[in-house]
Structure 1
C-alpha cells in the first residue's frame, strides 16, 4: 500500500480512538452506556442503524455472493431491508412505550416474566457473539487483502481498536463512530463502484462480459432455495438486540419510526452497490476467492490517495456492525442476566464497570469464533438460526398484540431452539428430506407452539374463572 493511503488509514483509526476518549466523559451511568441517554434524533438514528446493519455480510459478503451467483442473492437478501422498513413503520414506534427499557429482554420480561427474560438474555448473548465473530472475520479479510497480513493478525488489530473505543465510550462512542462510518461508506463505496465500472468500459461492457444468469431474478437457485434465503434474511436479523437498542435510544416514537424506516430504504441502495462491486470484481479478477472481491477491487483499481480512504470506509462498514453487537452483548449480560438473577442490588457505578469488563471479554470470545469461521455469510446464516426460531416471534407478538403468557413464550423459545439444533446437527439430513432449512423449521415450530400453548393456557384460565 502507498504511504499516503497508509497514513489515511492510520488517521481513521486515530479518529475512532479520539471519539472513544471524548465519549467516555459522557458515560456516567448504565443508561448512557446502553442507550445514550435516549437522545438520538432520527437523522442520527438512521445513520447509526444503517451503519450497523450494513456490515461485513452486507458489503463483502454480498459482493462475494454476487461474484459467485449474480444478482440473485441480492434479490433474495433484499428481504432484510423490507423487514427493516416494516419494523420501522409498525414496531419501532411501539418500543418507546417501554420506559427505561434497554434490551429486548427488558421488554420480554414485562410481557412474559422473569424466566422469559433469562432465556432471552442467553439466546441474545450467543447470537450477538456469533454476529460479532462474522464481523471480526470480515475485518481480518480486509487487512489480508489490502496489506497482505494474516487474517488472524488483521482480526486482532481491528478488534483491538473496536474494543478500545466501545469499552470506554459505550453507546455514545458507538453512535458517534457509526455516524462517521456511515458517511464514509455512503460516499466511498459508490465511488468504488463507479470507478470499477469505468475501468472495464462502462455498464454495457460489464453486462457483456458476465454470464446471463448473473442478471436473472433467481439465477441457479431452485424456488425452494430462493425462498429459504429470502426467509432467512426476512427473519434472521429483524429486531435483533442492537437494532432494538437503537429504537430505544430515540427520544420518542416519531424519531424511532422515521430513523428505522429510512435506514431500511437506504439498505436497498447499498445492497445494489455492494452486489455490483462483486460483479465488477468477477470480470476483473475471475480467479480470486469470492470474499476477496470487494477488497481486491479497492486494492488494485483505485488511484493512490483514494485507496486508503476507501479501505477505511470498508473497515468502517465492518467495524460499525462489530461495535454495535459488542455493546449490545455487554448490556444484555448485565441487564438480563447479572442484575435480575445474580445481584439485584448492584450499584449504578458497579453495573457500568461490569458492562465495560464484559465488553472486553465478549470481544475476546468473538475473536475466537472468527478464527474458526470459514465464510462471512456462512457465519451470519449460522447466527441467524439462533434468533428467529427462538425470540423473534414471541417478541413481535408481545409488542404488537400486548400478549402476556409466560408458558407460551418459554415453550415456543425452547421448542424452536431444539428443533433448529436437531434439524441442523441431528443424525438425519432433514433439510434434504423436507426442503425446509433449520431456520424455517424452527420458526414454524416456534409459532405453532406459541399459539397452541397460549390458547390452552388462556382457555384454562377462562374455564377456571367461570367455575369460581
Structure 2
C-alpha cells in the first residue's frame, strides 16, 4: 500500500464519520424522525442513498466473476434476485406503498388485514422476517468485509492471547469497520444514513469512472479482441449454453458446465417466472421499503424509485466492466492454468486486479469506494431492522405510551443489539454459514406468493398471509436441507436426484405450495373486516380482484374511480426492464470496445427513456401529492 492510497482511505473514513455525527442531531425528535427522517428528506437524496445501499462489495465481486466467465449474457443472471422489482416499484408499487403513511413494512400489513388476531399474526411474521434478515445480513457482512480487507490491506491485525489466537486479522478488520459504521448509524438514524450514503455514492462513482478510464486508455482494442471470443459479446442464446472459450481457456467451459446453468433456456424461463411474481410481491421489509416510506409524498416516492434505477446501473457496471477488462487481459492466462478452476477462483478477480493492476491513487480511491459500498449497505440494514423491534413489537405490545425521547433511546439499544447478535454470529460463520443461508433463502422463498396475493385479491386475509408465508418457508427449508446434504445421499436414489436440482427450478413447487397454504388459510377463516378493506382500497387503490370492495365504496361515494391501469402498468414494466437492461449492457459494451453494439444499446436506452417519459413520468406528475 502506497502512502497516498492509505491517506485517501483515512480521509474517506474521517469524512464519513464527520458527516454522520454532524447531522445526527436531527434524529432525536422521535421514531418518525429517527427511522424515516421525519418524511422531510428530498427524493433525490433518498434515491442516491437507495442506490448506494445496493452497491455492495460481495455482489460486485460476484458480478465481476460472472461477467468475466459468461460475457454479456451475464446481465440475465441478475434476474435470479430479481432486479426487476426496482422497475415494478418505480412504475406503480412505490405509490401504493407510500399512500399508507406508516413507518415499517409490518405496520403496513395492519392497514391491509386489520388489527385483529389474523392481522397481528401476519404483522408479527413480517416483523420477525425483517429482524432475522437484518441479523443474518450483518453476520454475512462481518465475514465478508474481514476477508476482503485482509486480501487488500498489508497489515496483520491478529491478536494473540497466550499460545492461542484471540482475534484473527479478518475479525479485527471487520470489528473496526463495523464499529466505525455503527457509531453514526445508531446516533443519527435515517438522517445520518442518507447523508453518509450520498457521500459514499459520490466516492463509488468516482472510483468506477477512474477505473474505467484507466482500463480504457491503458489497454488497447487489439489486446481485448485477442482474448474475448465473439460469442462473449452476444446476448442471444439457445436451449443449451455452449462453451465459447477455446484453446488454453478450455477450463472456463468446464466451469460453465459445472455451475448448473447449462440448460440456459430453462434457467431464463424460470427466472422470468420467478421475476414476475417476486416483483409484484413488492420489496421485502428492509432498507428499500424504508426509503419509499421516508419520502415526502406519493409523487416523490415514484420519483425516488425511478431515480434509483437511473443512477445505479451505469456507474456500477462501468466499475465492473473496467475490472473485468483488466482481468481478461492480465489474469486470464494465469487463471486458465489453474487445475480445476472453480467459482471461488472467479471471486478473487476483483481483489487481484486491485492489488496488482491498478495504479497508485486510483487504488486508494477504489478501495475507499468498495469500503463505502460495504458501509452503506451495512448501515442501511442497521437502520431498517430496529424499526421493527421498536415500532412493531416494543411499542405495540409492551409500551404503547411513552415519550419520543424514550423510543429513540430504545431504538439506539435495538440497533446496538442487532449489531451485537450479528457480529456474534459472524464469529462462528463457519458453523452458522449454512444457518444464515437457510434463513435468507427460506424466508425470501416463502415471501413471494402471499405478498403477491395481498395486492390483487380482496378476499385474501391475515391467516391466509400467515399460512402462505409459513408453508413457503417449510418447503424452502426442506429444499435447502436436501441441498446441504446432497453429498451424503446414495447416487441414483430419488433423494440424490432431488438434491441435484438447482434452487431456481424448485421455485414453481415452492410457489404452488405457498399459494395452496394462502388459499386454504383464507377460505377456512373469515374474510377481513369490510371497513378495513374499504379504507385500504380507498388509500392505495390497487388493480386486481377488488370488485366487492369497490362496489361498497361506490355505493357510499359515487365519485370513486376504479384502477384500470393493469395493462398499461405491465407494458411500462416491460419497457422499464428493457431500459434497465440497456443501462447494464451499455457500459459493458463500451468497456470491451464493442462500439456497434454499444451504439445500438445507447439507442435502446434513449428510445425507452423517451417512451417512459410520456407513459410513466407524465402520469406521476399528475399525482395529487
Q: Which TM-score band applies after superposition, normalised by the shorter structure? A: 0.7 to 0.9
Q: Residue 252 in 1 paired to residue 297 in 2?
A: yes
Alignment equivalent of 2:517, drawn from 449, 455, 464? 449
Q: Deviations over 1:193-215 (max 9, x none)?
A: 3313433324x522431456644
How big is each residue's C-alpha offset from its partner over 1:105-125, in whole Å with a ceiling of 9 and x where there is no partner?
111122231111111111111
Is 2:125 the counterpart of 1:119?
Answer: yes
Aligned to 1:201: 220
Alignment of 1:254-333 (within 5 A): 254-270=299-315, 272-276=317-321, 277-286=323-332, 287=334, 289-333=345-389
Query: How far did 1:385 drift?
Result: 1.8
Preserved contact between residue 190 and residue 383 of structure 2 (Cα < 8 Å) = yes
Does the CA contact (< 8 Å) of 1:82 and 1:264 recur in 2?
Answer: no
- Computed over aligned residues only, the root mean square deviation of the Cα atoms, in angstroms, reads 3.2
| Residue 350 to residue 123, structure 1, CA distance change in 2 (3 Å) | same
From 136, 139, 144, the counterpart of 2:142: 136
Match of 2:6 in 1: 6
User: Highest relative contact order (Cα 8 Å, sep 6+), 1 or 2?
Assistant: 1
Contact 1:197 / 1:206 at 8 angstroms: preserved in 2?
A: no
Cα pair 1:281 1:297 within 8 Å, conserved:
yes
Which range is displaced more, 123-132 or 365-374?
365-374
Q: How many aligned positions are there?
A: 458
Q: Indicate the residue corresponding to 1:94 in structure 2.
A: 96
Alignment map for 1:141-152 (pairs within 5 Å):
141-148=147-154, 149=156, 150-152=169-171
Relative to structure 1, is the Cα distance of residues 459 and 31 closer, same or farther in structure 2, using a 3 angstrom cutoff? closer
Aligned equivalent of 2:604? none
SS in 1 for 2:41: coil
How far apart, in 2, do the equivalents of 1:179 and 1:156 lie?
Answer: 24
TM-score norm. by structure 1 comes to: 0.87
1:41 aligns with 2:42: yes
Distance 1:448 1:34 in 2: 36
1:385-422 deviation digits (Å, cap 9, x = unpaired): 24433334434543455665111101101101111101
Alignment partner, residue 31 of structure 2: 30
Unpaired segments of 5 or more residues in structure 1? 463-468
Q: Which moved more, 1:189-198 or 1:122-131?
A: 189-198
Report deviation, 1:190.
2.9
> How far, CA to CA, are the matches of 2:144 and 2:274 in structure 1?
20
What CA distance in whole angstroms lies between the structure 2 residues aligned with 1:155 and 1:298? 19
- Compare 276-285 and 320-329 and name the one that shifted more: 276-285
- In structure 2, do the counterparts of structure 1 residues 399 and 180 end up closer, same or farther at CA, with 3 Å as the change threshold? farther
TM norm structure 2: 0.66
Does the 8 Å contact 1:92/1:256 carry over to 2? yes
Distance 1:266 1:382 in 2: 32
Looking at structure 2, the residues matched to 379 and 84 of structure 1 have their Cα atoms a distance apart, in angstroms, of 28
Contact 1:134 1:379 in 2 (8 A): no
CA distance 1:46–1:436, change in 2 (3 Å): closer
Which range moves more in the overlay, 326-335 or 359-368?
359-368
Equivalent position SS for 2:128: helix
Larger radius of gyration: 2
User: What CA distance in whole angstroms lies between the structure 2 residues aligned with 1:361 and 1:300?
Assistant: 39
Q: Structure 2, unaligned stretches of length 5 or more?
A: 114-118, 157-168, 242-255, 336-344, 486-494, 531-625
Structure 1 residues 226 and 197: CA distance shift in structure 2, 3 A:
farther
Q: 1:273 & 1:371 partners in 2: Cα distance?
A: 34
- In structure 2, the residue corresponding to 1:335 is in which secondary structure? helix
Between the aligned partners of 1:263 and 1:86, the Cα distance in structure 2 is 12
Residue 421 (1) aligns with residue 439 (2) = no
1:70/1:215 contact within 8 Å kept: yes
Shift of 1:27: 1.1
Q: How does 1:48-67 map to 2 (within 5 A)?
A: 48-67=49-68
Q: CA deviation at 1:11?
A: 1.1
